[in-house]
Structure 1
């Protein structure tokens, strides 16, 4: 079943791989033509995303604790990672000129907050293994985006390593998280609690909402 779990993850990741046009902001940042004001809004919106996702992952871990312990372990890893990322994000926000007053006054952009809203929905009603499969497939594109942004921030915007640490964190492969995801999918499949059709639907919507996040920022 381990091989089957890996096959499911790899297949769905490939199926949901985004088109280049799905992130219109990325080439602007990569070329250094996105202005710093847009980077500041990126930081502000990500702050809200991270806080929401951390709560959602904690809720998923709580729901899965009894019947799907491997999925619960996966979601705990995610929640712990969001806590680390939040600290790095604060440094990135400061480098973009965002202070506490501006952060408190920021009004969220609906197009940027659709993604965490859907993750919160998954936390309420998705089968744990389905959520593991969908989220893992989505993370592949997010990690690639972060690697590109981290390089561009150093090359075009003269950001320090500390200011880029948020994007470095997500760009780095995580063997532990990958292993945990495969174990959780295997567990769900063996218990008959994995619905590939629903997992693909969740993943497709997550990918669409992530595209909406970047498109919203690109229009600023």
Structure 2
């Protein structure tokens, strides 16, 4: 059972579809923002070739996730009009804003470690949500694809991260601080999503 309150509600089918719709809308802003940040990190002059490969791999993954997000949004009832007029929530967008800050200011090798420290937790959330969407919300395989993508372990990503860390210099104190803030902003993302009173999903 997850300790994330909102993910726990989704896991049991207690979260309304409107909450899922807001999740889709917020992710429509997070995914392209993170992709641009990763591409910037890949292209910085001080980024090692190994770290560049890692960040390019992440950016490609964000593109693939963005394609899968469309089916999830449609299953939640999000149409193009709502998507383009939606005003994102500051608490939900704090995470990509901090990723952008790291892309501009942090040592790229430190960013590799900080980002990967949060991947397992995010992947576990996605696995829980994917299962719940099938069991409680009757979503199609395509509509669950966004969460399936992040839930699946990626040995290739792990290998690229290890190569990047091996090739660069790491400041462990800074990495701990970056990782802690990323976890804080991740929690803020979930806490900022509205959770109306329970209704029929």
**Deviation, structure 1 residue 26:** 0.6
CA contact (8 A) 2:41 2:47 kept: no
Give yes or no for the alignment of 1:51 onto 2:27.
no
**Deviation, structure 1 residue 219:** 4.5
Distance 1:37 1:195, change over 3 A: same
Find the aligned partners of 2:75 and 2:105 in 1 and give their Cα distance: 38
Q: Counterparts in 2 of 1:127-166, with a 5 A limit?
A: 127-166=107-146
Partner of 2:6: 25
Q: Counterparts in 2 of 1:36-47, with a 5 A limit?
A: 36-47=17-28
CA contact (8 A) 2:16 2:195 kept: no
Find the aligned partners of 1:32 and 1:218 in 2 and give their Cα distance: 15
Q: 2:92 aligns with which of 102, 105, 112?
A: 112
1:85-116 deviation digits (Å, cap 9, x = unpaired): 00000110000000000001100100000000
Find the aligned partners of 1:69 and 1:24 in 2 and give their Cα distance: 40
**Deviation, structure 1 residue 217:** 1.1
Runs of 4+ in 1 over 3 A off after TM superposition: none
Q: 2:156 aligns with which of 170, 176, 181?
A: 176
CA contact (8 A) 2:21 2:73 kept: yes
**Deviation, structure 1 residue 121:** 0.3
**Deviation, structure 1 residue 209:** 0.1
CA contact (8 A) 1:25 1:218 kept: no
Distance 1:217 1:110, change over 3 A: same
CA contact (8 A) 1:118 1:206 kept: yes
Find the aligned partners of 2:22 and 2:32 in 1 and give their Cα distance: 16
**Deviation, structure 1 residue 71:** 0.6
Partner of 2:199: none
Tell me the C-alpha RMSD between the 2 structures.
1.1
Find the aligned partners of 2:84 and 2:38 in 1 and give their Cα distance: 24
Partner of 1:215: 191
Query: For 1:25, what is the secondary structure of its paired residue?
Result: helix
**Deviation, structure 1 residue 24:** 1.6
Find the aligned partners of 1:169 and 1:97 in 2 and give their Cα distance: 21
* TM-score scaled by length of structure 2: 0.94
